[in-house]
Amino acid sequence: MLLDVAIRYLLACLLAYENKSFFLVIFTQALMAVNERLRNLYPDSEELFDIVLMTNNHAQVGVRLINSINHYDLTIERFCMTGGQSPIGYLKAYLTNLYLSKDSKKVQEAIEEGIAAAIMFKPDVESQLSETQLRVAFDGDAVLFSDESEIIVKQHGLDTFFEHEKQHENKPLAQGPLKCFLEALGKLQKKFYAKNERLNCPIRTFLVTARSAASSGVRVLKTLRSWGLEIDEALFLAGAPKGPLLQKIRPHIFFDDQMFHIEGAKEMGTIAAHVPYGIGQKYNKGKLIEPEKQQK
């Protein structure tokens, strides 16, 4: 069935609000580059990226959007102009694999409905990104994995966390909101490997985690393996700042659940997307936020 097999990815309507959404353009271009390679290798397959533009706007704005899309030469043929309604229902109808938006409420709603979603942030400086290889970087806890370990750190401290991780080394972590998106990327990657294009694969995935390798790394790697997921590059930072490494990786998008890391990333020119999930949302730089003051 078409919908089961096709991989879809939705964009929020940023083109309407900003002229220079260069990062979205680059992102879309990278996805289109992957599609082209896929079509070359598998001309009859429908397992491709599909981009749907979701916007709150009314149909009037449609003209301007279409003009922008054509100006950048993007292949976005599917629109959903909800005229004020919540897009969540449509996301489900489209079997969305990833929803990106600047609106935190909508993103949170999507996550609650089980759809991988993140809030996009524009980087403070521009950086050169690949036009031929899609590069996606993920944080570990509360993004690929659930926030169970994060809860232990915040409530019981590091010692308990390390002990807990060692004891449960062989028990896979529960999955987090972006696990399925990594899975979808992995499926596409395998199609390239099957045609002997492993070294030249136009999709590359990165794990950038603040975990310490020796003390808590094994559980993460074993979990990924039990899910049958490969990740191309794994960086265990043991608390070092993520900004400089992301600057070297130059991903088209970096997912993290903590605003602190998002800010560090965008300061150094990385396109960062905040995943508002898990216990990390209740803490700002280590302190519990009062419920009224809780921001996205």
Partner 1 sequence: MSLDPVQVMKRQDSLPKTCPSASNGDSKASWDDSKDIHENVGSTKKPKPPKPENAVTIAVSSRVLFHTEKEQKVFEQQGIEEYLRYQVEHENEPFAPGPAFPLVKALEAVNNHLRELYPESEELFDIVLVTYNHANVGIRLINTINYHNLFIERFCMTGGSSPTGYLKAWHTNLYLSADTAKVQEALSEGIAAATMFMSEKQIEVSKTQLKVAFDGDAVLFSDESERIFKAHGLDKFFEHERENENTLLDHGPLKGFLEVLGKLQKKFYAKGHRLDCPIRTYLVTARSAASSGIRALKTLRAWGLEIDEALFLAGAPKGPMLEKIRPHIYFDDQMFHVEGAVEMGAIAAHVPYGIAQKYPHKKSTNTGK
Binding residues (CB under 8 A) for partner 1: these are 139, 141-142, 149-150, 153-159, 161-162, 199, 207, 209-218, 221-222, 224-225, 230-241, 243-245, 247-248, 257-258, 260-261, 264, 280, 283, 285-288
Closest CB to partner 1 among 184 and 268?
Answer: 268
Give residue 91's Cα distance to chain centre: 16
Residue 251 and residue 185 in contact, taking contact as beta carbons nearer than 8 Å: no
Closest CB to partner 1 among 113 and 267?
Answer: 267
Residue 206 CB, shortest distance to partner 1, in Å, is 9
Given phi > 0 = left and psi -120 to 50 = alpha, else beta, which region is 285?
left
- Label the pairing between strands 134-138 and 203-209: parallel
Closest CB to partner 1 among 87 and 251?
Answer: 251
Closest CB to partner 1 among 53 and 210?
Answer: 210
Closest CB to partner 1 among 50 and 150?
Answer: 150
Residue 29 CB, shortest distance to partner 1, in Å, is 21
Q: Which of 172, 183, 178 is nearest to 230 (CA)?
A: 183
Three-state SS letters, the chain: CHHHHCEEEEEECCCCCCCCCHHHHHHHHHHHHHHHHHHHHCCCCCCCEEEEEEECCCHHHHHHHHHHHHHCCCCCCEEEECCCCCCHHHHHHCCCCCEEECCHHHHHHHHHCCCCEEEEECCCCCCCCCCCCEEEEECCECCCECCHHHHHHHHHCHHHHHHHHHHCCCCCCCECCCHHHHHHHHHHHHHHHHCCCCCCCCEEEEEEECCCHHHHHHHHHHHHHHCCCCCCEEEECCCCCCHHHHHHHCCCEEEECCHHHHHHHHHCCCCEEECCCCHHHHEECCEECCHHHCCC
Residue 283 CB, shortest distance to partner 1, in Å, is 8
Residue 237 CB, shortest distance to partner 1, in Å, is 6
Which residues does the annotation mark as catalytic? 139
Closest CB to partner 1 among 69 and 203?
Answer: 203
Residue 59 CB, shortest distance to partner 1, in Å, is 43
Residue 166 CB, shortest distance to partner 1, in Å, is 9
